Amino acid sequence: MKAAVLREVGKPLQIEDVQIGKPGPHEVLIRTAAAGVCHSDLHFMEGKYPFPLPAVLGHESAGVVEQVGSEVRTVKVGDHVITCLSAYCGHCDQCLTGHMSLCQSPDTRREQGAEPRITSASGNMNQYLNLSSFAEQMLIHEHACVAIRKDMPLDRAALIGCGVTTGIGAVIHTSNVRPGETVAVIGCGGVGLAAINGAAIAGAGRIIAIDTSSAKDNMSRLFGATDFINAADGDPVAQVMEMTGGGVHHSFEAIGLGKTAEQAFNMLRRGGTANVIGMIPVGQTVTLMGAAFLGEKRIQGSLMGSNRFPVDMPRFVDFYMSGKLKLDEMISRRLKIEQINEAFDEMKTGQIARSVVVFDA
């Protein structure tokens, strides 16, 4: 099958022919229909997060089940599915206490020494984040995907696999935004726009979008923002404090920088919660003023929106089909796998929301 392979940090992906195995007892073979191009992939390409190479990248995807293992019970051949990197075992302490997105059990991966799921003519190939979806097929654990209704367009469903779930989940699960509360979102890329959309769905009273690109003003309002701050024009913390008369209840950092994480914390009202969604590079620190904690302000991380994806994702699909979830507006470009490096070049400009690789294009 054709796949986009990262062989060296700092280099473009290479389109190669690789081989994929047969499903084991709890595994599913999926024909990939679409894969979103996420900023997380770029972090690994640039070496900001280490990962064993070579690897087939991609982790935000949807497709159709082609084969299932002998013990698979959650999906069947012909099902349309969304994949999720939050593969869960279902029996560890994290899963049993309702924190499926934090599961790290090795049970969802093949045992050490077993035949790898992906290989190439030059040797073994590493599977990326349980998925490796920049490829025509995926071989994954059954608990890394969920079946959805078949009238849902798969190119839009793919976005739910990471960015949408991360953004909306941070709002409704990690921070528990309540109707009427105030929200600020720093960074209006795919994840930030999803957080804005999630805040609107949750009934937030005021949603302040913050970005350094003025082009994100109108776009963020399409997703539910009530206000927009161009951070290039001045201190966004001071502007938020003035606009709200003391700060917001919830802030969401969707860029992945120490500076913006600090801003997210500093723009809180007393009792507020800052949520770091972005992937801050390894080794980068965040500095906070200690006295601020006397106002019961909190800062916390959010991993994949604290999701329960087998429940959440079908509901997000229903939100889209009923017009509440904005996915059409999020897709800036559809492209072929051979154009994958163009998508990352465009991502670096900060002018687009999401590119999607479509495998029947």
d(Cα 190, Cα 135) in Å, to the nearest integer? Answer: 22
Active site residue 59: yes
* Structure confidence at residue 63 (pLDDT): 98
Asked if the structure places residue 101 within a domain, the reply is yes
Residue 361 confidence (pLDDT) above 70: no
Q: Are residues 203 and 310 in the same domain?
A: no
| Predicted local confidence at residue 49, as pLDDT | 92
Residue 80 reports pLDDT greater than 60: yes
Partner residues linked to 56 by β-bridges: 5, 127
Name the active-site residue from 84, 89, 103, 162.
162
Q: Give the Cβ contact number of residue 288 at 10 Å.
A: 14
Tell me the sheet residues that pair with 128.
none
User: How would DSSP label each residue in 332-355?
Assistant: EEEE-GGGHHHHHHHHHHT--SEE
How far apart (Å, rounded) are the C-alpha atoms in residues 109 and 114? 10
Residues 95 and 186 in one domain: no
| Residue of 39, 43, 141, 143 marked active site | 43
Please provide the average confidence, as pLDDT, over all residues in the chain: 96
| 95 a catalytic residue | no
For the chain, percent of residues with pLDDT exceeding 70: 100
3-state secondary structure of 298: strand
Query: Which candidate, 89, 75, 101, places its Cα nearest to that of 23?
Result: 75
Residue 79's domain spans which residues?
2-162+306-358
Q: Closest Cα partner for 288 from 265, 268, 306, 307?
A: 265
Which of 277, 301, 325 delimits the end of a domain? 301
Same domain, 285 and 320: no
Residue 64 included in any domain: yes
43 annotated active-site:
yes
**Among candidate residues 284, 301, 318, the one where a domain is terminated:** 301
| 151 and 278 housed in the same domain | no
279 and 313 inside one domain: no
Q: Residue 169 falls within a domain, yes or no?
A: no
Question: Same structural domain for residues 124 and 83?
Answer: yes
291: confidence class by pLDDT, cuts 50, 70, 90? confident
Please check whether residue 267 is in contact with residue 184, taking contact to mean a CB–CB distance below 8 angstroms: yes
Same domain, 288 and 313: no
Tell me, yes or no, whether 338 and 247 share the same domain: no
Amino acid 112: pLDDT:
85
Assess if residue 44 is contained within a domain: yes
Question: Ramachandran region of residue 312, left (φ > 0), alpha (ψ -120 to 50) or beta?
Answer: alpha
Closest CA to 309 of 136, 130, 117: 130
Same domain, 37 and 76: yes
- pLDDT, mean of residues 20-27: 97
- What's the pLDDT score for residue 15? 97
In this structure, are 340 and 223 located in the same domain?
no
Tally the domains of the chain: 2
Question: Which candidate in 40, 133, 251, 306 is catalytic?
Answer: 40
Residue 207 shares a structural domain with residue 101: no
What CATH number does the domain containing 72 carry? 3.90.180.10
Q: Which of 260, 275, 301 is the last residue of a domain?
A: 301
Q: List, for residues 117-167, the tens digit of each pLDDT value.
A: 999 988 889 999 999 999 999 999 999 999 999 999 999 999 999 999 999
Q: Would the pLDDT of 352 be above 80?
A: no
The CATH number of whichever domain residue 245 belongs to comes to 3.40.50.720
The catalytic residue among 59, 80, 143, 173 is 59
* Separation between Cα atoms, residue 224 and residue 246, nearest integer Å: 22
Query: What pLDDT is attached to residue 360?
Result: 79
CA angle, 119 then 125 then 127, to 5°: 110
Judge whether 170 lies within some domain: no
Helix (H) or strand (E) holding 45: helix 39-45
Predicted pLDDT at 243: 97
Question: Are 11 and 49 part of one and the same domain?
Answer: yes
